[in-house]
Amino acid sequence: MHAEPSYNKRREALSSVRRNTLVLFVVLFILATFAWAGWANFEYRRQANEKMLAAAAMQGELVADPVTGTMQYNSPLKGKPAPAFVLEDLSGKKVSLASYKGKAVLINFWASWCGPCKIETPWLVELRDQYASQGFEILGVSTDDIDSDNPKTLASEKADVQKAVTRMHMQYPILLAGSTLDHPYGGLDELPTSFFVNRKGVVVAAQLGLTSKDDIEANIKKALGATK
């Protein structure tokens, strides 16, 4: 008589433990799945971030100036010798960067179809006039497509660049690069892009996209002031 209730109680307790065991394992399984998904997501993001940083190291990045708040181009070429080049100008004459050693040089990458370049160019023309006497020169490097293998196409492409040069009164040397300098100068994914080179041939500043005449002038002074 006394044994039966005790047996039922034990049976109920056992059933409760079994049910809770099942619930516990289901909850643990769900938690483990979420933990794994979280870890996999974290790993994926970490790898993507590493790839992005590696690419940024090649190309540089835009960072906000803590004082002015303007975006500054932190180029990996800063503090390094400007990558050498020899390019043809519009008349077919070879021009090398090395031949400008001893001068402060602004290498300005632009294109005839680039709207912001059209806004920037008059500033460059004025600044060149202003600082030329101190040993400053601008090399306008056109990134317009150049098909050197096809003389007919080449003539038409050169004519397009010449039209832009005339339209914008660019009185400084214009060199034709096409995409040949994309790699050494960090991708050139945006135009205009400018590198300011001091008299020793070292890049002292860089600008990406349209900034302001004042910013350009400050960097020209930096390039000129590097002389000892």
Partner 1 sequence: MSEPASQQASVSVGHHQVWVPHPRRVLVFAARVGLHELCALGLGVLLFFVTASCAVYAQSDSPNRSILKGAAVEYLYPEQVNVPASKPTTVTLHFRIAPGMHINSNKPREDYLIPTTFSIPVESGVRLDAATYPAGSDLTLPLDPTEKLSVYTAEFSIEARIVAAPGDHLVEARLHYQACDKDACMPPKTITVPIDVIGK
Two tokens, residue 66: 């803590």
Query: For residues 213 and 191, is the Cβ–Cβ distance under 8 A?
Result: no
**Nearer of residues 193 and 198 to partner 1, judged by Cβ:** 193
With binding defined as CB under 8 A, does residue 219 bind partner 1?
Answer: no
Query: Which span (24-32, 134-142, 146-154, 217-225) binds partner 1, by CB under 8 A?
Result: 24-32
Give least dist CB 210 to partner 1, A.
4
**Nearest-angstrom CA–CA distance, 163 and 189:** 24
Q: Which is nearer to partner 1, 38 or 225 (CB)?
A: 38
Residue 115, classed as helix, strand or coil, is helix
How far is residue 19's CA from residue 129's CA, in Å, rounded to a whole number? Answer: 88
* Residue 40 burial by Cβ neighbours in a 10 Å radius (0-12, 13-18, 19+): exposed
Nearest-approach distance from CB 69 to partner 1, in angstroms: 12
> Exposure of 31 by Cβ count < 10 A (0-12 exposed, 13-18 middle, 19+ buried)?
exposed
Residue from 63, 86, 98, 159 touching partner 1 (CB under 8 A): that is 63
Instruction: Choose, by CB under 8 A, the member of 135, 173, 201, 209 that binds partner 1.
Output: 209
159 binds partner 1 (CB under 8 A): no
- Beta carbon nearer to partner 1, 43 or 129: 43
139 binds partner 1 (CB under 8 A): no
Distances in Å between the alpha carbon of 139 and those of 3, 20, 124, 149, 219?
103, 78, 10, 24, 15
32 binds partner 1 (CB under 8 A): no
**Binding residues vs partner 1 (CB under 8 A):** 13, 16-17, 19-21, 23-24, 27, 30-31, 34-35, 38, 41-42, 45, 49, 59-64, 71, 111-119, 143, 145, 160, 163-164, 167, 179, 187-192, 208-211
